[in-house]
Structure formats: structure tokens, C-alpha cells
Amino acid sequence: MDGLPHLMDLFLQPGEFIVADASYKLRTLLGSCVSITLWHPETRTGGMSHFLLPSRGRARRPKRLDARYGDEALQLMLEELRQLGIAPAQCQAKVFGGGNMFPDLEHPGGLVGQRNGEAAISLLGEQGISILSESLFGVGHRQIIFDVSNGDVWSSQIAPSAAPTEGDLL
């Protein structure tokens, strides 16, 4: 054996979140969606979300919180952290995503990714959680890998490729 801990690899789909211990490596792929990672250095516990929209808007009060929405995803993560005895303000946050997946199109209502990223920053500020780093906006999608054992997050942004031409189709 190499003596290194063996991490469990988990891929988050859109609308999912998790709070996990140091035995996890969390991954996701983001376009206009945003991921917030929270990490508590003393306990080596972390959380990660993958939300699609900032909030439900003016919808009726939900019976259940839904992690597809940024405000609710953060609330769900914070509740689980509190159940573990972790105060949210003791966590370090990192924020990723909010990319423009269709830069050649007009966006009359504004960019969803821009709204998602701005919401994440605002929500964390409201909770008194400091943002250690961020990689937001731009063009294309991002691959995110969060190692809960040490709080490291890797982000790789990939620009959208050109539309296939007839010669590219198989």
C-alpha cells in the first residue's frame, strides 16, 4: 500500500449538493450553473452544490428545499454543517461557474450564469462566509474537482468548440 488515503469519488449532477468528510473527492461539470464549495479546515469537512438558478423567484413557499436553486442549495448545505456542529462563518468558500455557453446569441433577459454567480457571492456575504477564491463567468464550461481532505479545488475552463461543419459529422 502507498499509505495514502483512498478517496471516494462522487460526481454531482445539476441540482445536487453534498456535505462530506475527508474521504471524498467531489466533481462536477458546470456551464451557466454555479458551484459553491464550503470547507471547514479543522474538521476537514466540506460541502459542494451545483445549482441551476439563483432562486425560485416569487414562487409559493416550498414544502421542501430544492438544491436546483442557489439560495436553497446553500441553506441545505448550511443546515447539514450545523448538524455536524460546524458554524458556517468558520468555513472557507470557493465559487465556480456562471459561464456563457452561447456567446454568439443575444440574451435579452441577461445571462443566467451572470445572475447565478452574483447570487452566490451575495448569499455567502449574507451568511458572513468569506470567499477564498472564485472562478466565475467567461465563455464555456468548467470541470471542478474538490478534494475535501485538504480543501483544494481545481477548476479547468473549456471554451465551446465551433459548431461542426458537414465534414465533421460522422
Extents of the domains making up the chain = 8-160
Q: Report pLDDT for 147.
A: 96
Rounded Cα distance between 43 and 66, Å, is 26
- The better pLDDT of the pair 12, 168 is held by 12
**Residue 114 to residues 36, 46, 87, 139, 155: CA-CA distances in angstroms?**
14, 25, 28, 11, 18
Give mean pLDDT, residues 143-168.
79
**Segment among 67-71, 89-93, 108-112, 128-132 with least mean pLDDT:** 108-112
Rounded to 10°, the helix 112-126/70-83 angle is 30
| Prediction pTM value | 0.87
β-pairing, 92-97 vs 34-40, is: antiparallel
Taking only the tens place, the pLDDT of each residue in 82-100 is 999 999 999 999 999 999 8
Contact 140, 159 (CB under 8 A): yes
Rounded Cα distance between 33 and 21, Å, is 24
Q: Which CATH class is domain 8-160?
A: alpha beta
Rounded Cα distance between 49 and 34, Å, is 8
What is the DSSP code (8-state) at residue 100?
A: B
Rounded Cα distance between 107 and 158, Å, is 21
Measured over the CA atoms of residue 60, residue 65, residue 69 and residue 75, the dihedral's sign is positive
